[in-house]
């Protein structure tokens, strides 16, 4: 198949850990690579945010990345991009007129707007993955939500207009129903993990004698990192490493890092919380393997890739019981689920794991088995192409004969 993937703010080539560079970047890049490995021709269209980068870049895996000129060629927060989606769509339309794809897969709501506009003109079906829904974000962030005010309405419109929606978990399907989705046009395909890179054997980061816990990901308030820092007060002798945010030299100027350091000071644990800044993908498996547990306790989470990466490395996960984490992490099997925002329950779970090496080893083995059975990218890519074929078949079948 000729597959066009659209990811307006999340380039598969971006460095991870910044405010708008995280799981979607990994998902888009890994899915595109897996699809290319299965013989499909894949182009990822993303917004150009650097004047010095080439318009077209071919990755080592054979995926073609197209940097679309839409708005200023510099980094902008994703919530500032809506005014440029018309320009983005115009470029897509010109490209697709010359090289028509068989299917368009839009990632995030603004990508969906641009994809729908451009694909309609050339008669190509559109599959939508939201990665996060504005209605959920508004519910949990309230006045702190920086999304454009029209986001929820536009997402409801997309749900009605695209050919199919791929959700990543059952919770998301329920949220889509609230937006008016016809569940006959919704399929669940979870995120995946690179099983060749994330595995239990391999090098480990050096560590001291203290038990090590890790938080990995974007340093934004909703990720619950402050809860983990606060819990350290009741997890004696353990250290917490926080991977994410800006590069290490810039940590001192980062507002969220400053806030988290204040939380550490207030809880008397500044000497046991260490901020690593951005950690490269090549170094991440070694960091995860060096940990006794990986902690992922956001207030809400559409899916979450870090728990899969930890499980694939044989490390138990302590996660909040929200969204897709309720499906990927097996409570008592591959880790422990705790109520979001419950610092006491989080501290208790961490103490239990630290005190029981046999429990950690058993959960680690179960996590490896689950990751390999359910979440390898080749299988995720096959499930995704099954959806593509279903959508293309429906488009080619006359309405009266269905």
Whether residue 35 is contained in a domain is answered as yes
CATH number at residue 288: 3.40.50.2000
Compute the distance between CA of residue 74 and CA of residue 322 in angstroms, rounded to an integer: 34
pTM of the predicted structure, to 2 decimals: 0.89
Q: Would you place residue 203 in the very low, low, confident or very high pLDDT band (cuts 50, 70, 90)?
A: very high
**Residue 385 in domain:** yes
Residue 22: per-residue pLDDT: 63
Do 326 and 382 lie in one domain? The reply is no
Number of independent structural domains in the chain: 2
**In terms of domains, do 186 and 301 share one?**
no
| Distance in angstroms (rounded) separating the CA atoms of residues 21 and 10 | 6
Position 339 in a domain: yes
pLDDT > 70: what percent of the chain?
Answer: 97
DSSP state of 131: S
Residues 111, 7 contacting (CB under 8 angstroms)? yes
Span 169-193, average pLDDT: 94
Is residue 54 in a domain? yes
Per-residue pLDDT at 150: 95
pLDDT of residue 19: 47
Q: DSSP readout, 183-195? A: GGGEEE----B-T
Residue 12 scores a pLDDT above 70? yes
Q: Count CB neighbours of 374 within 10 A.
A: 16
Q: Which of 21-30, 52-61, 324-333, 363-372 has the lowest mean pLDDT?
A: 21-30
Beta strands in 144-232 (DSSP E): 164-167, 186-188, 212-216
Question: For residue 357, what are its two tokens?
Answer: 């090496």
DSSP structural state of residue 39: T
Q: Give pLDDT tens digits for 60-92.
A: 999 999 999 999 999 999 999 999 999 999 999
Please check whether residues 332 and 382 belong to one and the same domain: no
Is residue 122 a part of any domain in this protein? yes
**343-358, pLDDT tens digit by residue?**
999 999 999 999 999 9
Residues 71 and 97 in one domain: yes
Residue 20 pLDDT level (bands cut at 50, 70, 90): very low
Asked whether residue 133 falls in the same domain as residue 61, the answer is yes
Half-sphere exposure of 401 (CA within 13 A, CB side): 6
Measured distance CA(281)–CA(387) in Å, rounded: 29
Asked if residue 368 and residue 351 are part of one domain, the reply reads yes
Q: Are residues 353 and 382 in the same domain?
A: no
The neighbouring-strand residues paired with 273 are 240
Cβ-contact 164, 185 below 8 angstroms = yes
Mean pLDDT for all residues in the chain: 93
Q: Which residue has the tokens 């880790």?
A: 335
**What integer is the mean pLDDT of 87-111?**
97
pLDDT (tens digit per residue) in 313-330: 999 999 999 989 999 999
Split at pLDDT 50, 70, 90, the class of 397 is: low
Average pLDDT over residues 234-247: 95
C-alpha closest to that of 304 among 321, 288, 287: 321
Better-predicted residue by pLDDT, 19 or 367: 367
Specify burial of residue 89 (Cβ count, 10 A radius: 0-12, 13-18, 19+): buried
Handedness of CA 219, 214, 31, 246 (dihedral sign): positive
In a domain, 162, yes or no: yes
The pLDDT, as a whole number, for residue 327 is 93
| pLDDT, mean of residues 301-320 | 94
The answer to whether residue 228 is domain-embedded is yes
**Confidence at residue 395, expressed as pLDDT on a 0 to 100 scale:** 80
Shared domain check, 240 and 184: no
Res 402: pLDDT = 43
Q: Are residues 157 and 216 in the same domain?
A: no
Q: Are residues 268 and 181 in the same domain?
A: no
Cβ neighbours of residue 236 closer than 8 Å, sequence gap 6 or more: none
Q: Are residues 246 and 281 in the same domain?
A: yes
- In a shared domain, residues 93 and 225: no
Question: Domain range for residue 259?
Answer: 212-374
Q: Answer yes or no: is 248 within a domain.
A: yes
Give CA–CA dist 307/313, Å, rounded: 10
| Residue 293 near residue 315, CB atoms below 8 Å | yes
Residue among 199, 203, 198, 273 nearest 231 (CA): 273
pLDDT band of residue 18 (cuts 50, 70, 90) is: very low
């Amino acid at each position: 198949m000729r597959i066009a993937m659209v990811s307006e703010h999340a380039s598969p080539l971006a460095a991870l850990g910044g405010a708008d560079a995280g799981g979607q970047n990994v998902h888009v890049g890994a899915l595109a690579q897996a699809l290319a490995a299965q013989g499909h021709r894949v182009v990822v269209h993303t917004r150009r945010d650097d004047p010095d980068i080439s318009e077209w870049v071919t990755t080592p895996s054979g995926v073609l990345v197209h940097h679309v000129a839409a708005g200023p060629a510099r980094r902008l927060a994703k919530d500032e991009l809506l005014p440029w989606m018309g320009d983005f769509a115009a470029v897509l339309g010109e490209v697709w007129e010359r090289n028509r794809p068989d299917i368009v897969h839009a990632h995030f709501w603004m990508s969906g707007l641009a994809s729908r506009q451009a694909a309609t003109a050339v008669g190509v079906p559109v599959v939508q993955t939201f990665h996060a829904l504005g209605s959920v974000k508004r519910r949990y962030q309230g006045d702190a939500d920086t999304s454009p005010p029209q986001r929820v309405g536009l997402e409801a419109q997309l749900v009605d207009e695209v050919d199919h929606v791929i959700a990543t978990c059952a919770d998301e399907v329920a949220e889509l129903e609230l937006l008016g989705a016809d569940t006959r046009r919704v399929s669940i395909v979870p995120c995946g993990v690179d099983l060749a890179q994330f595995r239990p054997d391999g090098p480990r980061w050096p560590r001291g004698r203290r038990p090590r816990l890790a938080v990995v990901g974007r340093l934004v308030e909703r990720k619950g990192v402050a809860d983990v820092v606060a819990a350290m007060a009741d997890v004696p002798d353990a250290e917490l490493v926080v991977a994410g945010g800006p590069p290490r030299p810039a940590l001192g100027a980062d507002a969220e890092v400053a806030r988290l350091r204040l939380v550490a000071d207030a809880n008397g644990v500044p000497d046991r919380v260490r901020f690593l800044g951005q950690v490269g993908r090549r170094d991440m498996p070694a960091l995860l393997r060096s940990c006794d547990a990986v902690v992922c306790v956001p207030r809400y989470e559409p899916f979450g890739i870090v728990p899969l990466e930890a499980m694939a490395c044989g490390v138990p996960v302590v996660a909040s019981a929200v969204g897709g984490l309720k499906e990927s992490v097996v409570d008592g099997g591959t880790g422990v689920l705790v109520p979001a925002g419950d610092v006491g329950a989080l501290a208790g779970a961490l103490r239990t794991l630290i005190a029981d090496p046999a429990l950690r080893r058993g959960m680690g083995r179960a996590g490896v088995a689950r990751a390999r059975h359910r979440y390898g990218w080749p299988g995720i890519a096959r499930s995704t192409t099954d959806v593509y074929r279903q959508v293309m078949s429906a488009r080619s079948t006359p309405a009266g004969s269905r």
